[in-house]
Amino acid sequence: MWVARVQGSIVNLKLLVRVLGIILRMLENASTCIWRIGKTRAEELERAFKEKGLFDWAPQMTDWLRNKHYVIYLGVGGF
């Protein structure tokens, strides 16, 4: 395995945030990735449905978007 030598610290905050984001994504496993994708999709759908007024005539959709099994389903569909 190849390991880089550390020459100093990262001073640029913007670069540091990007590097940490990459490291965190590399550390997450498949189930965490599926959950993250599903949660993001559920939040997008909730915003879109609120704008369209869908919850007025189908209030059970709110429960679906917060159901962990449905969020996982949305995450699996995101691959």
How many Cβ atoms are within 10 Å of 42's Cβ, its own excluded? 19
Task: Please report the pLDDT score of residue 9 as a whole number.
Answer: 73
Contacts of 35 (CB under 8 A, 6+ apart): 71, 72, 75
Q: Are 40 and 72 in contact (CB under 8 A)?
A: no
What is the residue extent of each domain of the chain? 30-77
Q: How far apart are CA 38 and CA 73, in angstroms?
A: 7
How many Cβ atoms are within 10 Å of 28's Cβ, its own excluded? 12
Contacts of 77 (CB under 8 A, 6+ apart): 41
pLDDT digits (tens, 9 = 90+) for 3-60: 556 677 767 788 888 888 888 888 878 888 899 999 999 999 999 999 999 888 888 9
